[in-house]
Structure 1
């Protein structure tokens, strides 16, 4: 049996190219397997590869060499009697990345994991449209493919003058790479190579913005129209702080009866540990201002489940509405920051960081602050606190530099 890598010029595609094939010959029986295509003027007939001037020649020649190496391995197995000649040409069932992501979506749907479903639905859509995931055999991906994927996520994509995909930060790229790697490992049945397992994108530490006491005073002192959206959002922000840095989604969806008897009763179920809290006088004053006047305590998140829709679909709609409501709050908070002359990207999550700063100033016990903030892992919590302390140290050092000059 012999092998040969050739450009099969007897067949021509509509674009003028010809198939590049691995030709197998056994007992005068000749069969070919198509592995690529190129035009006649791009092929080096002497060395059986693309000419150096051909586009992406180095990458394509590397791929051709890999395929030829696989064919030699098959030849060795054939001579040992492990496979039959015809087995080399049977069409294998290929699972593409798009197929694997579709199966993950079905799993998330069955398990009613709406948050994960939403993220992976986004991955599937953009990868199929712009990264050919419906033709990627997950059993054949290599480190070069992952490097290309990381570059794809990191770059902005513009089509016909319109941004169709925003550039991701390195931190976000790493999260996506990890997710895709896990999907490929799960559905390919092949253990990822060492270089794929080690592949990382360099990440940076995210600064945890928080407000000082003086900045909080400036927001509190703003003269806002009672009952206006700005007034409501300011109350939501301060209530988050008073309720142990409560997450914005929990506050927006909370009903008035969750604030009875001088205590906030948190509702869990979205994968986050939301904590209840005693209502201090300032928190009680905010609750009394809105209690029983709207469908929920605050009038921003307005949504009810559709009895005709499935539980999963209702959860998806609920999350979408929560995200839209949070966007409204964050947009107004930036207006309030400008009015209060605060040069920080004010958002609802800064309320949580601000409370955390207050907590570690008063309580030097990470076991207690972990419970106060609703963190379930001490290591994660300690890192969270260290980031906040580090940011404060750097801010102070910067102030000292300019105060001395």
Structure 2
């Protein structure tokens, strides 16, 4: 099994800048490829170029992209049982290699102005790009739209029929349907999907103008559940004292999320033993949602949690032995990924059930879910005055604006404290 790392090499050039290299360790041999040169003082402990290096965002993106490319190539070679060496992998032109493996994508029918057909085409593209979570969600939206059209005794919908009047009637039906009425936030996401389909058709020249202009939806902001430090400690104590194995595992998964910089449940569940590096002091992985490389230094509590599960003798096995999934070489990449997605969703639902039980047992004000670990980490980091650029990297956000928006949604406690004494 080959392993990959991004390393700073102590071999300065005449200008004093050191090389950042991608390193492959395979069959007890090391292979390197230089990615860029930086001032060594600007290489931070998280394994990324910090903001004092000119063009640091571009450099980090270049490093992340190349790592993802090498990981994808290695995964393909190992899954297919092909022999390789580190230098051979590093010499592969990724674009040419990817093009040789990627089937030709179907083109949208230039003569079709059907909303349903164009939506199906875009969902197909999402599947091909392995954005399976979005594809699954959009397929559900399309199914609901077909149900509504059935009530109108229609089997198709033209793009130019998606007017303000149609959207008003459709959303009224979604809000009041008896089997599963939609709340305002679901309606907002559904409209965003329909608008995306129509705007894409407009860009492709299938229509000459947008059929809707005035219809808008607004999401309702729901207070995000986040825990205090003392409540995190209560969860830690319960995880150690409970004799219920599923509850203990759910709590420890939640705590790992919290200590791994508020990582998403999908990333923690899919960690492999080989993602634990540097003798158990660091975890490195690529986020499933954003494809960003994360390199996290483990604190004492995180190391203790991981040590319960870590099995270096089985580098490719899941760190937390919870997911019942194995790669099937007889299936396509999309089929394997879809099975993994379903398994992640099932285990997330199970974890949320036990976290709700823990919330009631500990008399928390509101029930927690796996995602509240992310909110809790962000809130505590904000209170500790963590630099927003560092927090952006820790959360894996793509922009500072995204981090600012995320933090603004957690501001209720700060407002309460600031208003203390106003009416005294």
Same fold (TM over 0.5): yes
For residue 179 of structure 1, what is the aligned residue in structure 2?
Answer: 193
Q: Separation in 2 of the partners of 1:301 and 1:399?
A: 47
For residue 221 of structure 1, what is the aligned residue in structure 2?
Answer: 237
Greater shift after overlay, 222-231 or 212-221?
A: 222-231
Q: Separation in 2 of the partners of 1:140 and 1:387?
A: 37
Contact 1:98 1:134 in 2 (8 A): no
How far apart are residue 392 of structure 1 and its match?
1.0
Distance 1:218 1:245, change over 3 A: same
- Point out the structure with max Rg over C-alpha: 1
Which of 154, 178, 186 in structure 1 is aligned with 2:175? 154
Contact 1:97 1:134 in 2 (8 A): no
Q: Separation in 1 of the partners of 2:253 and 2:340?
A: 19
State the superposition RMSD in angstroms: 2.6
- Count of equivalent residues: 301
How far apart are residue 280 of structure 1 and its match?
0.8
Aligned 1:3-402 pairs, distance under 5 A: 95-132=113-150, 134-155=155-176, 157-158=177-178, 163=179, 166-187=180-201, 188-193=206-211, 196-222=212-238, 224-225=241-242, 228-261=245-278, 262-271=281-290, 273=292, 275-292=294-311, 295-389=317-411, 391-393=412-414, 396=417
Instruction: Please give the TM-score of this superposition, normalised by the length of structure 1.
Output: 0.68
Spell out, residue by residue over 1:327-350, the C-alpha distance to the aligned partner (whole angstroms, 9 max, x if none): 111111111111111121211111
Structure number with higher relative contact order (C-alpha < 8 Å, ≥ 6 residues apart): 2
Q: Separation in 1 of the partners of 2:418 and 2:385?
A: 24
How far apart are residue 364 of structure 1 and its match?
4.7
Q: Separation in 2 of the partners of 1:122 and 1:400?
A: 50
Unaligned runs of 5+ residues in structure 1 are 1-92
Greater shift after overlay, 335-344 or 266-275?
A: 266-275
Spell out, residue by residue over 1:282-321, the C-alpha distance to the aligned partner (whole angstroms, 9 max, x if none): 1111111111298412122121122211111111111111
SS in 2 for 1:221: helix
Q: Separation in 2 of the partners of 1:131 and 1:364?
A: 51
Q: Separation in 1 of the partners of 2:354 and 2:216?
A: 37
SS in 2 for 1:203: coil
Contact 1:246 1:275 in 2 (8 A): no
Q: Separation in 1 of the partners of 2:221 and 2:415?
A: 13
Q: Separation in 2 of the partners of 1:146 and 1:274?
A: 40
Instruction: Please give the TM-score of this superposition, normalised by the length of structure 2.
Output: 0.65
How far apart are residue 226 of structure 1 and its match?
5.2
SS in 2 for 1:375: coil
Distance 1:112 1:287, change over 3 A: closer
Unaligned runs of 5+ residues in structure 2 are 1-110
Distance 1:168 1:97, change over 3 A: same
Q: Separation in 1 of the partners of 2:382 and 2:131?
A: 34
Distance 1:272 1:112, change over 3 A: closer
SS in 2 for 1:139: helix
How far apart are residue 98 of structure 1 and its match?
2.0
Q: Separation in 2 of the partners of 1:292 and 1:365?
A: 35
Q: Separation in 2 of the partners of 1:286 and 1:263?
A: 13
